[in-house]
Amino acid sequence: MKTLITGGTVVNATGTVAADVLIDGEQIVAVLAPGSQLLGSDLTQSVDTVLDAAGKYVIPGGVDAHTHMEMPFGGTFASDTFETGTRAAAHGGTTTIVDFVVQYAGENPLDQYALWHEKAAGNCAIDYGFHQILSDVQDSSLTAMDELIKEGVTSFKLFMAYKGVFLSDDGQIVKAMQKAADTGSMIMMHAENGAVIDVLQQQALARGETTPYYHGTTRPWQTEAEATHRAISYAGMTGAPLYIVHVSAKQAVEEIAAARDRGQNVFAETCPQYLYLSLEEQLGAVSDQWGSFEGAKWVCSTPLRSRAEGHQNHMWQGLRTNDLQVISTDHCPFCMKDQKELGLGNFAKIPNGIGSVEHRLDLIYQGVVLGEISLPRWVELTSTTPARMFGFYGKKGVIQPGADADVVIYDPNAHTTISASTHHMNMDYSAWEGFEIDGGVDTVLSRGRVIVSNGTYTGTKGDGAFIKRGLSQYLV
Amino acid sequence: MKTLITGGTVVNATGTVAADVLIDGEQIVAVLAPGSQLLGSDLTQSVDTVLDAAGKYVIPGGVDAHTHMEMPFGGTFASDTFETGTRAAAHGGTTTIVDFVVQYAGENPLDQYALWHEKAAGNCAIDYGFHQILSDVQDSSLTAMDELIKEGVTSFKLFMAYKGVFLSDDGQIVKAMQKAADTGSMIMMHAENGAVIDVLQQQALARGETTPYYHGTTRPWQTEAEATHRAISYAGMTGAPLYIVHVSAKQAVEEIAAARDRGQNVFAETCPQYLYLSLEEQLGAVSDQWGSFEGAKWVCSTPLRSRAEGHQNHMWQGLRTNDLQVISTDHCPFCMKDQKELGLGNFAKIPNGIGSVEHRLDLIYQGVVLGEISLPRWVELTSTTPARMFGFYGKKGVIQPGADADVVIYDPNAHTTISASTHHMNMDYSAWEGFEIDGGVDTVLSRGRVIVSNGTYTGTKGDGAFIKRGLSQYLV
Amino acid sequence: MKTLITGGTVVNATGTVAADVLIDGEQIVAVLAPGSQLLGSDLTQSVDTVLDAAGKYVIPGGVDAHTHMEMPFGGTFASDTFETGTRAAAHGGTTTIVDFVVQYAGENPLDQYALWHEKAAGNCAIDYGFHQILSDVQDSSLTAMDELIKEGVTSFKLFMAYKGVFLSDDGQIVKAMQKAADTGSMIMMHAENGAVIDVLQQQALARGETTPYYHGTTRPWQTEAEATHRAISYAGMTGAPLYIVHVSAKQAVEEIAAARDRGQNVFAETCPQYLYLSLEEQLGAVSDQWGSFEGAKWVCSTPLRSRAEGHQNHMWQGLRTNDLQVISTDHCPFCMKDQKELGLGNFAKIPNGIGSVEHRLDLIYQGVVLGEISLPRWVELTSTTPARMFGFYGKKGVIQPGADADVVIYDPNAHTTISASTHHMNMDYSAWEGFEIDGGVDTVLSRGRVIVSNGTYTGTKGDGAFIKRGLSQYLV
Amino acid sequence: MKTLITGGTVVNATGTVAADVLIDGEQIVAVLAPGSQLLGSDLTQSVDTVLDAAGKYVIPGGVDAHTHMEMPFGGTFASDTFETGTRAAAHGGTTTIVDFVVQYAGENPLDQYALWHEKAAGNCAIDYGFHQILSDVQDSSLTAMDELIKEGVTSFKLFMAYKGVFLSDDGQIVKAMQKAADTGSMIMMHAENGAVIDVLQQQALARGETTPYYHGTTRPWQTEAEATHRAISYAGMTGAPLYIVHVSAKQAVEEIAAARDRGQNVFAETCPQYLYLSLEEQLGAVSDQWGSFEGAKWVCSTPLRSRAEGHQNHMWQGLRTNDLQVISTDHCPFCMKDQKELGLGNFAKIPNGIGSVEHRLDLIYQGVVLGEISLPRWVELTSTTPARMFGFYGKKGVIQPGADADVVIYDPNAHTTISASTHHMNMDYSAWEGFEIDGGVDTVLSRGRVIVSNGTYTGTKGDGAFIKRGLSQYLV
Ligand SMILES: [Zn+2]
Ligand SMILES: [Zn+2]
Ligand SMILES: [Zn+2]
Ligand SMILES: [Zn+2]
Ligand SMILES: [Zn+2]
Ligand SMILES: [Zn+2]
Ligand SMILES: [Zn+2]
Ligand SMILES: [Zn+2]
């Protein structure tokens, strides 16, 4: 099965080039000067399929390095399964996710790892890897890290919040970081000061502040900035590579920038919600249907932050300065009905999460349209760097021979309107309802197969395979 | 004329890949999965030449963005002509230089630009572009900037030192920066505080401090850090993109890092001499032949800095943190005999400059061997980013179809010893005498032609062509 | 002649105390527990005068370390003579000024010093010292520094602006700083980047921007922050103590704070106008009488700054953090009629200066009322530290035995309305018209004599004597 | 009882003055011009005692704001009782201590407060106040804060280390800070990251690193700098005034300086041991008597730090820049015999503490001799600021009428050699054995009584009284 993509503009992380792309089986086998002539032969004649990308961008398929399919949380599950979630991702041009194996306090990391393989195997539309969550780190967790690295799980997420559920104390964190330093693996950190947030929540609830808005006010930027500083301090002591997830506070970016200036291996992602949405507009929203509970749609942690404080613009700046290197979604959808509703009358009981896995490429492409970032930077942030960061660049994240033929043809002349009525995620609302994008996904290939064409899913459940990852390729 | 490079590891800025490279005429036309099979045909059979790169790196030809061939300075000329200098560059794997058109105070920028074309045309072994030096900026200089941008000269070098020769005062600098901001062109800055250096020099000479060592002590790091801060301040006021040349002081790197953290378009290069050499060891050297005048070999500005102060290690760190983006040579060779000797008894009269155009790739590759930087970063610093920074990426700086076939096959198993007795630069000494490199240039192609093979120059004088550059492709 | 001040609260820099103050002749001879009993004797019976300070503050007389009486500038003279200006100062509770001997480029510093003694001698209501302005520093200026220090002039003001008038180039500045470091004397710096301001002024005028408002826009904060950084850099190189005059930009405060954190002897003053007034409200003011030329009343350099940029609040903060140590007035009054009018149609020709010498204590006391600073800090900023900074603490700046009996009884229950119709400065307008102060000067003593009582001047022309100052007592 | 101190140089925080001091009963009643004449009467004739201070300094008695008399710790007690410790303090010119009421986890703060009154009452040679330690903060602790403030205990010490003993978790700390912000009281913080230190200790012991030297290596500067940053972050969130105790790491000083630059009410003390002693020289010491256990003499927390890392010089700098405002001793003596010996074979079991209460004034005066700080700064750091910081300035900390007559006559021509054989603390060794001081205490008065004269204690047990303190007088 041979496919030739002709006439497009290939966008890689360092620039663009007019080039054709030849795919043989599951891999890209050549990138060629446009015209599809090679030593005299017209390649369009020799392939099975020709995809015309004239006037369009040909980009490596998106890599979403932070998703939570069917994640168990607070007695319910994130509403997207591996099946629905990865299919939605495919619609949006994302051809790889790295999902989190969940190990709660008291559970065995390796058992959970096995369980997550069961959940994903045979269900995914696109390729997937795993990070491992380690909660309440024990000696057995440290041993498990060695095992998991052999399995291709080379990144471990720790939490500085959620006592009794996810939290590891600071001594546990240091031990896990020592192991990461020894093995060259990556520590991913949920950097929020849970101890302080718990106090602020109790005090707010005691004052009768129960609506979703107070989810934001009880997790002020200081709780993120402080935890970020602390994690960086431990990474500096131990030598562990550190990746801060879902950064939303500008002061956290400043901590990260300072560490990077010193040459520390400190990295960070932000998410589309922290670029576009805010405490005032979303968490504080009121609707006919839901009243002041409307804001529950956007309850996630770290929370949406105050626009008046200027965080959103600072996130874009961080993306430009490369103090933020990756854009993920932290896709963790819950429906309003039965799920978010659990927190009616108590914001602390609202399942945390927003679903965006389908919209990431579009939403960040809009940043190109708005002049916030350049076209190559779009690809770098959404595909190249996440692949490098988590050790599977070359296979993914780039249009070059030898790479998996995960390719997206993106049309800058298309237009996309986001709505719950048209999205493919298993959610009864959209956090992005009414957002307009000046561009759109045209065609999506996963390892050589066209899985989305003209908005129609053409793949098969179970196409996606597990990716055994190596160590980070982004360390200095 | 078709060439196929097989079996090598292609190194681009974001990573490496095993791939073959097909060249047709002057350009790369395809990058292919290794094995040189394409849709069934064995390409090795269809090309004129097959170059075996097994076990070797295939990299985009080096881009040296800072050279001064036959530069007039202090009554003499830099000892390398465009002919000798570019041939030496070719030997070292550099396939593009960007040289400086010199306009001294009182001269007409456009006349000088025409003169430099005369000097270079028909003499160069490799392709070349021009930056324009603007001294003592006048209104006519601002007009010339518009003209020169149309010519493909999109970067303009100003000086904060050398009163009466190169210096523009701060008001002139601001005016030139305003023009750069309007046109999107790049200001390159020689950031040294000349007014203070002049005082320190006079005072040192008055104290009888006349040897080359005092060239260093009269240009202390403060004079570089201050000027760097000042240039950044003006760039911030005007919105001009700014590129600091030949950074050697760690405090200057800190100023640059702070500006970059704020999102300013501030960039910088360092040079091999600031990574390896020092005030104590080189400027303070004593030899049988030259006595304490030995240090004259390394008189350049900014000066070699004190190893005790830690600048050298900080330059490597800056390269890792991307606070320094480019490595150039500032190639400006003068012979000891008759040239450097002009400063016997008065360091201030020693022609300023070191010759390294031949050794840049080797010297920085040694940084890979030493673990200072990664292999892709080597290519990024010496080829990809200089091409992007100065507006000719795509044509140069990358191995991809459509790019000029400027390709270097680099052998990590070779060994190179640097010496005046073997180098190809027109110098009677080597600043790098005795340096050992664990690697070496194997083959060099310039626009498809092999111009160096096994250490032998196989090209023809005048092969090199002028590159009309666009605006920087590196702006955020 | 013996005076006893009873019943008041003595405020010194570190705190307050209920105490009586006994004056004998020109000096304080005792500070006593309240009640005026000493070893059984009722002191009120033994003195010539008893001043009742019940319910009032007893503070050391104000020290205004920055005034320009009858200063020649742009073909006219500051409108207050030593006679009128010092009398006005006395009304406002200031009992010492340090005025600037003006030496323009081309003049001889020592001649000017002699001339200034002639101007002041026999005319002053209060004691006075001199700083020496050194313009266009020559070798003879450096020699003059030695002479002047012997005379009790231990501080030297340099300018980074006003080319051809006051400006010293950076080499000259460094030489003067070297001399200051050698002698332990203080460099005072007018830190504005004149070269850049000149360009911005010419460009503004060419665009027809001629009103006073553009005085502000052509001296943006960057020109102050940059010059401040540069001066600090030179002070660091040479070891000179440095005092930045009339700081108005928050970014300048940040530069000063950074230097102080490193332990450099860097100090700074701000002035009441930078705490209360702004670009928008004053420089941009429009009146019936003057139209948009109204703003000329507040043309001074550094200029009033944008309130939107937040400088004013940052000045208060700098006073609290001790990154600003002194409040002076930079008193340099010009009348609107005939003087400020010189700049009708060209803001660059408006004589620079604001008159506040009479109102400093009141205006800063209002900061105590507003909660910006504490009561002891008020005394420290306006009296104690200026005296320590410039080498005459002990004689002035403190209520303690041995000190000159320069004492102000300040009534926190009084109320003061500032107006040109009531002020004592020789100005036809007030920069502070309509300002209301919740407090007021009650009684002023200068070396034991009551010179202001109930708003009436009771002194004699020529009471004031020259103060021979020592080196700074504030160095770390 | 009337005393006159004549002929001395009175040193206060802002400067020195030649003045006589008249004491009537327990208070200073007058500070007078030297010569002891007042309105004609020779005061020396009217007083009971004349103390001749010619050639000597007359300073306010020292205030040691951090002592632990007979503190229970690890099953033993600090070896100085209130009786022995305060007498030793008196010998060294310290006339006030503020000691810590110890409340361990599980104990009732108010009960402990009552108990500490029992310990101190009738035993002290000098006046004393109390800070309250709050461990494992409960709601009842918050209530106790209100009670204690009424009692004149306005400062509360929390711990970020010593789990199960002293530690409050971060939520508890925030609650206590909220209460402090509400009441204007001061939080004192032991800023070390206990969770990390616990891990490092366990790992060190597991490696067989058991000697006192490893006490230092397992509490690296990062654990102090991180905790300091965290405490500052919480203080910023809550608005609580914060005072960091026993700062020893330069990076902690940098955190404090940054907070102070922002205008936060953040303060800090250091101790003599962090200025003079080091990890290498003391903790790593080996002796004939004790072998490598010799270092136990200097086991305290925060630990002595590496001289190679430069902390000691940075502490002096911090004292000059006022980023450190107070010098206390953290006096907590333990004998080697039976006490420090508990940690033979396990550094973690060595009772933590050094005894210096007797030597603080001498050791810091030596800093004046060495040129590290000025003479007024010596008084400010050791007396004036601690009194202001903790709310009893005016009563103590200054030579002025109305102040308690706590006065030290200090002789700069004396010489003091420190030794266990001559000191008055109840310790079987001296941490300062062999230190030589170029000055010495001559006479000490406590509330008007001479309690030390010529090295002889002349007071009576129980002279000292409890000081009911107000809120801090040092807040901005
Ligand atoms: Zn998270
Ligand atoms: Zn997540
Ligand atoms: Zn940075
Ligand atoms: Zn150059
Ligand atoms: Zn500071
Ligand atoms: Zn002035
Ligand atoms: Zn402690
Ligand atoms: Zn303690």
Q: Which of D364, D389, D414 is the last residue of a domain?
A: D389
pLDDT band at B367 (very low <50, low <70, confident <90, very high): very high
Touching, A vs C (3+ Cβ pairs under 8 A): no
Span D201-230, average pLDDT = 98
| Shared domain check, A340 and A318 | yes
pLDDT of residue B39: 66
| Shared domain check, D55 and D177 | no
Q: Is residue D464 part of a domain?
A: no
A contact chains, 3+ CB pairs < 8 A: B, D
Please tell me if residue C317 touches chain D, with a CB cutoff of 8 Å.
yes
CA dihedral D175, D177, D183, D186 (to 10 degrees): 150
Structure tokens at A433: 């309802």
| Shared domain check, B342 and B240 | yes
Ordered DSSP codes for A330-384? -B----TTTTGGGGTT-GGGSPP-B--TTTHHHHHHHHHHTTSS-HHHHHIIIII
Q: Do C193 and C218 form a contact (C-beta atoms < 8 A)?
A: no
pLDDT (tens digit per residue) in C172-194: 999 999 999 999 999 999 999 99
Number of domains chain C is built from: 2
Q: In A, residues 429-448, which contact B (CB 8 Å cutoff)?
A: none
Q: Is residue D360 part of a domain?
A: yes
pLDDT (tens digit per residue) in D267-295: 999 999 999 999 999 999 999 999 999 99
Q: What is the CATH number of the domain that holds D23?
A: 2.30.40.10
| Shared domain check, C199 and C252 | yes
Give, in order, the Cα–Cα distances in Å from D292 to each of D303, D420, D428: 17, 20, 18
Q: What is the mean pLDDT of chain C?
A: 97
pLDDT (tens digit per residue) in D161-179: 999 999 999 999 999 999 9
| Residue in B169, B220, B233 closest to C222 by CB | B233
Burial label, A211 (beta-carbon count in 10 A; 0-12, 13-18, 19+): buried
Closest approach of B439 to chain A, Cα-based (Å):
21
C contact chains, 3+ CB pairs < 8 A: B, D
Three-class secondary structure of residue B247 per DSSP: coil
Chain B residues lying within 8 Å of C220, measured CB to CB: 237
| Shared domain check, C45 and C66 | no
- Please answer yes or no on whether C388 and D15 come within 8 Å at the CB atom: yes
| Shared domain check, B169 and B31 | no
Scanning every residue of chain A, which has its alpha carbon at the shortest distance from the alpha carbon of D234? Answer: A222
| Shared domain check, A146 and A99 | yes
pLDDT (tens digit per residue) in C243-296: 999 999 999 999 999 999 999 999 999 999 999 999 999 999 999 999 999 999
Q: In D, residues 17-36, which contact C (CB 8 Å cutoff)?
A: 17-19, 22, 24, 27-34
Q: What is the mean pLDDT of chain B?
A: 97
Scanning every residue of chain B, which has its alpha carbon at the shortest distance from the alpha carbon of C219? Answer: B237
Please tell me if residue B43 touches chain A, with a CB cutoff of 8 Å.
yes
Scanning every residue of chain A, which has its alpha carbon at the shortest distance from the alpha carbon of B261? Answer: A321
D contact chains, 3+ CB pairs < 8 A: A, C
Mutate to test the interface with A, among B1, B9, B38 (most CBs of A within 10 A): B38
If residue A417 lies in a helix (H) or strand (E), which one and from where to where? Answer: strand A416-417
Tell me how far apart the alpha carbons of residues C10 and D400 are, in angstroms, rounded to a whole number: 10
ipTM of the complex: 0.96
| Shared domain check, B337 and B440 | no
Closest approach of D441 to chain C, Cα-based (Å):
25
Q: Do A35 and B27 form a contact (C-beta atoms < 8 A)?
A: no
Closest approach of C465 to chain B, Cα-based (Å):
40
Please tell me if residue D16 touches chain C, with a CB cutoff of 8 Å.
yes
Closest approach of A321 to chain B, Cα-based (Å):
6
Beta strands in B134-190 (DSSP E): 155-159, 186-190
Ligand 3 geometric centre to CA of B252 (Å): 13
pLDDT band at C74 (very low <50, low <70, confident <90, very high): confident
Chain D residues lying within 8 Å of A170, measured CB to CB: 193, 195-196
Please tell me if residue A260 touches chain B, with a CB cutoff of 8 Å.
yes
Chain D residues lying within 8 Å of C317, measured CB to CB: 263
Closest approach of C175 to chain B, Cα-based (Å):
8
| Shared domain check, B231 and B351 | yes
Tell me how far apart the alpha carbons of residues D137 and D104 are, in angstroms, rounded to a whole number: 10
Span A199-218, average pLDDT = 98
Ligand 3 geometric centre to CA of B233 (Å): 17
Please tell me if residue B229 touches chain C, with a CB cutoff of 8 Å.
yes
Span B256-275, average pLDDT = 98
Please tell me if residue A50 touches chain B, with a CB cutoff of 8 Å.
no
Tell whether the model's pLDDT for residue C225 goes beyond 80.
yes
- Angle among Cα C339, C342, C346 to the nearest 5 degrees reads 140
pLDDT of residue A37: 75
pLDDT band at A39 (very low <50, low <70, confident <90, very high): low
Q: Is residue B420 part of a domain?
A: no
- What are the residues whose beta carbon lies below 5 Å from ligand 5 (ion)? C 257, 261; D 257, 261
Touching, D vs A (3+ Cβ pairs under 8 A): yes
Tell me how far apart the alpha carbons of residues C129 and C270 are, in angstroms, rounded to a whole number: 19
Q: Is residue B476 part of a domain?
A: no
Ligand nearest to the CA of A318: 3
Three-class secondary structure of residue D476 per DSSP: coil
| Shared domain check, A162 and A49 | no
Structure tokens at C426: 């020789």
Structure tokens at B325: 């983006």
Whether omega for the bond prior to residue D302 falls within 30 degrees of 0, making it cis, is: yes
Give, in order, the Cα–Cα distances in Å from A380 to each of A396, B265, B402: 12, 19, 21
| Residue in A195, A200, A237 closest to D169 by CB | A195
Ligand 2 geometric centre to CA of A354 (Å): 10
Ligand 4 geometric centre to CA of B23 (Å): 34
pLDDT band at A126 (very low <50, low <70, confident <90, very high): very high
Ligand nearest to the CA of C100: 6
The boundaries of the domain holding residue C447 are: 2-59+398-414+437-457
**Of B428-437, C69-78, D8-17, the least confident:** C69-78
Tell whether the model's pLDDT for residue D39 goes beyond 70.
no
Q: Which of D358, D389, D420 is the last residue of a domain?
A: D389
| Shared domain check, C147 and C84 | yes
Residue with tokens 């505080």, as numbered in its chain: B193
pLDDT (tens digit per residue) in A324-376: 999 999 999 999 999 999 999 999 999 999 999 999 999 999 999 999 999 99
Scanning every residue of chain A, which has its alpha carbon at the shortest distance from the alpha carbon of B380? Answer: A14
Tell whether the model's pLDDT for residue A38 goes beyond 90.
no
Size of interface A-B (CB pairs under 8 A): 137
If residue D432 lies in a helix (H) or strand (E), which one and from where to where? Answer: none
Q: Is residue C429 part of a domain?
A: no
| Shared domain check, B37 and B114 | no
- Please answer yes or no on whether A229 and D233 come within 8 Å at the CB atom: yes
- Please answer yes or no on whether A17 and B402 come within 8 Å at the CB atom: yes
Tell whether the model's pLDDT for residue B459 goes beyond 80.
yes
pLDDT (tens digit per residue) in D328-347: 999 999 999 999 999 999 99
Q: Do A178 and A240 form a contact (C-beta atoms < 8 A)?
A: yes
- Please answer yes or no on whether A226 and D226 come within 8 Å at the CB atom: no
Ligand nearest to the CA of C329: 6
Residue with tokens 């403190």, as numbered in its chain: C398
- Please answer yes or no on whether A263 and B320 come within 8 Å at the CB atom: yes
pLDDT of residue A36: 72
Chain A residues lying within 8 Å of D206, measured CB to CB: none
DSSP state of D428: S
Q: In C, residues 162-181, which contact B (CB 8 Å cutoff)?
A: 169-171, 174-175
Tell whether the model's pLDDT for residue D399 goes beyond 70.
yes
pLDDT (tens digit per residue) in A409-425: 999 999 999 999 999 99
Please tell me if residue D218 touches chain A, with a CB cutoff of 8 Å.
no
Please tell me if residue D395 touches chain C, with a CB cutoff of 8 Å.
no
Closest approach of A173 to chain D, Cα-based (Å):
9
Residue A66's DSSP bridge partners are none
pLDDT of residue B365: 98
Ligand nearest to the CA of C263: 5
Count of beta carbons in the 10 Å neighbourhood of residue B207: 9
Tell me how far apart the alpha carbons of residues C249 and C230 are, in angstroms, rounded to a whole number: 15
- What are the residues whose beta carbon lies below 5 Å from ligand 7 (ion)? D 190
pLDDT of residue B35: 87
Ligand 4 geometric centre to CA of B450 (Å): 29
Strand order, beta sheet including D456-457: D15-18, D9-12, D57-60, D407-411, D440-446, D449-453, D456-457
Q: What is the CATH number of the domain that holds D183?
A: 3.20.20.140
Q: What is the mean pLDDT of chain D?
A: 97
Ligand 3 geometric centre to CA of A399 (Å): 29
DSSP state of B341: G
Q: Is residue B472 part of a domain?
A: no
Question: B12-32: b or e for each residue (b if 16 or more CB lie within 10 Å)?
Answer: bbbbbbebbbbbbebbbbbbb
Tell whether the model's pLDDT for residue D73 goes beyond 80.
yes
pLDDT of residue D42: 85
Q: Is residue C427 part of a domain?
A: no
- Please answer yes or no on whether A196 and D170 come within 8 Å at the CB atom: yes
Whether omega for the bond prior to residue C84 falls within 30 degrees of 0, making it cis, is: no
- Please answer yes or no on whether B402 and A38 come within 8 Å at the CB atom: no
Q: Do B61 and B408 form a contact (C-beta atoms < 8 A)?
A: yes
Q: Is residue B300 part of a domain?
A: yes
